[in-house]
Amino acid sequence: MRQREDFKEGTLGADLLTTVTTIDFGSDPGFATIAAPDYAAIIIDPEGAGNGPEIVYLTAFTATQTTGTITRGEEGTSDPGVTHASGTAWRHGPTIEDFDRFVWAWDSDDPSGAAQVDIDLAGFEVVQITGWLKPATDNVTLFVRLSNNGGASFRSGGSDYVWINRNSNNITTYTAGDLADSEGEIVGTIGNAAGEGVSFDMQVIGPASAGRKTVIITKFMMQNLSGAYFFGHDGIICTTEEVNDYIRLFFSSGNIASGRIAVYGYPSP
């Protein structure tokens, strides 16, 4: 995991040759102990006063020591093939990677006529799916399923999902759930008349982690088949610990009449 600490900078205590993977800080740089899979990004020659900037990753370091293990030419920078001379400035600070962690991943302007929307989750630790969908068929339920094989198939076993739903129309609160289901339910009784449908903000948490169960948390606002408004939230968990690389959104019956979905992701470290 990427480590960040404040106020860490200095100058090299020894030449850093092109093949060298040990950095000499000259004195204690003040980092806490770092061990795999953690690392800290360091910019060598950040102002380009020497042989040009290079980003390295400090992958192994013991607190209070003056040297550490690095990997060279990270984040698209190239090992310059020349020496960073002793005394060259170094700085532990933000790089483009820090500002580009939350990225636009996928977008569909108009899924009209589609039977479902399949979204690629591969390589993302957290994915946010925001949008709205209107069904072509009246009085339907919005479901999700997850894939572990690139979208070739989606989990649909009778106990693959646990889901819990709570929604309200400001008069009555409704709760529903299932501890063993073949899909995760977001909300039902969605209407397809003018102005009806469902808008939602969904987070998919941990799909890239093999040792945990993917969780889907959704907030939604919808207008049902009778024109009544409901706000609610929903939680879904895949009952198997695995990497999930696709998610499918679909209605219980019929196609998607119209909608728009934007997807943003936080990549795995």
**Rounded distance between C-alpha atoms, residue 144 and residue 107, angstroms:** 18
- DSSP-assigned letters across all residues of 128-179: EEEEEEEESSSSEEEEEEEESSTTSS----TTSEEEEEEEE-SS-EEEEEEE
Whether the link from the prior residue into 267 is cis, omega within 30° of 0, is no
Nearest to 56 by CA among 18, 99, 13, 102: 18
Same domain assignment for residues 25 and 122:
no
**Rounded distance between C-alpha atoms, residue 104 and residue 128, angstroms:** 10
Same domain assignment for residues 142 and 80:
no
Same domain assignment for residues 82 and 112:
no
Nearest to 262 by CA among 140, 128, 136: 128
Same domain assignment for residues 138 and 243:
yes
Nearest to 146 by CA among 266, 257, 240: 240
Last residue of a domain, one of 99, 132, 149: 99
Report the length, in residues, of the chain. Answer: 269
Domain that holds residue 120: 103-267
Q: What are the pLDDT tens digits along the chain (269 aa)?
A: 788 888 899 999 999 998 899 999 999 999 999 999 999 999 999 998 998 899 999 999 999 999 999 999 988 787 666 789 999 999 998 887 776 555 655 555 678 889 999 998 988 889 999 999 999 999 999 999 999 999 999 999 999 999 999 999 888 899 999 999 999 999 988 999 988 999 999 999 999 988 999 999 999 999 888 888 999 999 999 999 999 999 999 999 999 999 999 888 887 76
Same domain assignment for residues 20 and 65:
yes
Nearest to 2 by CA among 207, 268, 243: 268
